[in-house]
Amino acid sequence: MTFEKIISLLPYEPPFLFVDELHEVDKEGISGSYTYHESAYFYEGHFKNNPVTPGVILTETMAQIGLVAYGIYLLSLTSKNLNLTNTKIALVSTEMSFYIPVYPNEKVKVVSKKEYFRMNKLKCHVEMFNEKEELVCRGKIAGMMKL
């Protein structure tokens, strides 16, 4: 499955799509990136005169790349005839630690490593890095996939 196909199957669209590109994907993990543009709706008021990307948006970006896109890829391996357009993915838990802020126009890279995928439940260790390769945040994200 191509990176473009995986992105097209994500259940999001702008302004809530936080995946620009995928770099690598295999049975053990996935990586991808996103740039937070200064015109994004969430910078207005967060914070006055000092816009910072909200932690919930960072977490969502990590979930979209590191769990949902990855889950679509893993499901595609199980069946060539699987109708992935009807797949529902529910985030069931996160455990995040944040280290440094992300500002408007910054590009981040998300790296996700599978902990397990069984009975349609996926759990991953996910990290986000800025362009200087500094660790922005990390955590565990788990979700259920319903076909």
In contact, 129 and 62? CB cutoff 8 Å? no
pLDDT at position 38 is 96
pLDDT, tens digit, 9 for 90 and up, residues 17-76: 999 999 999 999 999 999 999 999 999 989 989 999 999 999 999 999 999 999 999 988
Handedness of CA 4, 9, 12, 14 (dihedral sign): positive
pTM of the model: 0.93
Closest CA to 72 of 131, 135, 4, 15: 4
Distances (CA, A) of 57 to 38, 45, 85, 127: 14, 14, 24, 14
pLDDT at position 82 is 62
Instruction: Report which DSSP code applies to 68.
Output: I
State how far Cα 116 lies from the chain centre. 17
pLDDT over 70 (residue 102): yes
Query: Where is pLDDT greater, at 109 or 80?
Result: 109
Q: Annotated catalytic, 125?
A: no
pLDDT, tens digit, 9 for 90 and up, residues 104-140: 999 999 999 999 999 889 999 999 999 999 999 999 9
Distances (CA, A) of 40 to 18, 44, 46, 71, 80: 11, 8, 11, 26, 37
Q: List, in order of start, the domains of the chain with CATH numbers.
A: 3-146 (3.10.129.10)
